[in-house]
Amino acid sequence: MAKLSKTWWGEKFIEGLEQFLDEGRLRRGRSYRSDYRILMFDIADNNIIAKVRGNINHYFGVYKEPKYKVSIKISPIAKTKWTKIIKLLSSNAACISKLLMNEMPDNIEEAFSTLKLHFLPNKAKDFITDCTCPDWANPCKHIAGVYYRVASILDADPFLMFELRGLSKEKLHQELSKTPLGQALLSGLTSEDKVQIITKESYYTKPLKVSIRSSISLKEFWTGKKKLSRVVNNNEREQKVSAILIKKQGDFPAFWNKNNSFIGAMEDIYEQVKKKNRESL
């Protein structure tokens, strides 16, 4: 089954939901996470509001295409507990350095569990949800669709989870920067001690001037004096294409909407092109 989230924290968010919600009804909402279905989506603090396109359903008395309002409120973590969390996070150099550089630590959930808390919601009462559709079940497919949309947004911005739990990204950075370890790390990042840079007029080798004949035949101009050999040494080690520009994009760049790795897909294309070139020799 294809993954619906590209990052471990997005997957953990969905896995957490599946532990305490009806998995069957939750999965029904997969097709409702698209832009065609979700007409409006907004997040403010720990409140999520969306407008979702529904279906005509004569059984429920719906005879024309409806638009339902979905609201999800995630229970925030108390401010007093955030103080303890920040104190614990700031005591771990690897953890605080990643957070200050806008990266999500792999062991973030472990830090919360030490205080008997959870970074990702893990029980039904962490959510207050509502949908204006006539389906009595909770979550209905419209609410489930919005859950999956939240997971996809978490892929791009994992710090959204901090905001949904009651602490903005700016506030998190501000509090971490006040700690002794945070100050030490930031002073290292903003240090004015710079390496002396020696500039050169040019790093390219200057071209050498050589004399040329006053006249040359058109055939020699286009083909050269000697015809290049078409013999390929099969024993020679095959050169690899570095594809630095491709690899810099990462496995899932912003423009790549597929579930498979972008780098893996491009490597397959490179291999096919090389194979075709070998066959044409």
Q: Is residue 210 part of a domain?
A: no
Residues 145 and 107 both lie in one domain: yes
Choose the final residue of a domain: 142, 170, 189.
Answer: 189
Query: What is the extent of the structural domain holding 174?
Result: 8-189
Instruction: Write out pLDDT tens, residues 165-179.
Output: 888 888 988 888 888
Choose the final residue of a domain: 135, 168, 189.
Answer: 189
Q: How confident is the model at residue 39 (pLDDT cuts 50, 70, 90)?
A: very high
Instruction: Write out pLDDT tens, residues 252-268.
Output: 777 777 777 878 888 88
Residues 126 and 163 both lie in one domain: yes
Total structural domains within the chain: 2
Residues 132 and 18 both lie in one domain: yes
Q: Is residue 129 part of a domain?
A: yes
pLDDT given at position 129: 92
For residue 9, give the 3-state DSSP assignment: helix
Percent of the chain whose predicted confidence (pLDDT) is above 70? 83
Instruction: Write out pLDDT tens, residues 230-242.
Output: 555 554 445 554 5
Residues 92 and 149 both lie in one domain: yes
Choose the final residue of a domain: 138, 169, 189.
Answer: 189
pLDDT given at position 236: 46
Contacts 24+ apart (CB under 8 A), 109-115: 109/12, 111/85, 112/85, 114/88, 115/81, 115/84, 115/85, 115/88
pLDDT given at position 53: 92
| Between 223 and 113, the higher pLDDT residue | 113
Residues 16 and 129 both lie in one domain: yes
For residue 194, give the 3-state DSSP assignment: coil
Please name the amino acid found at residue 59.
Answer: Y
CA nearest to 164, candidates 151, 173, 145, 175: 151
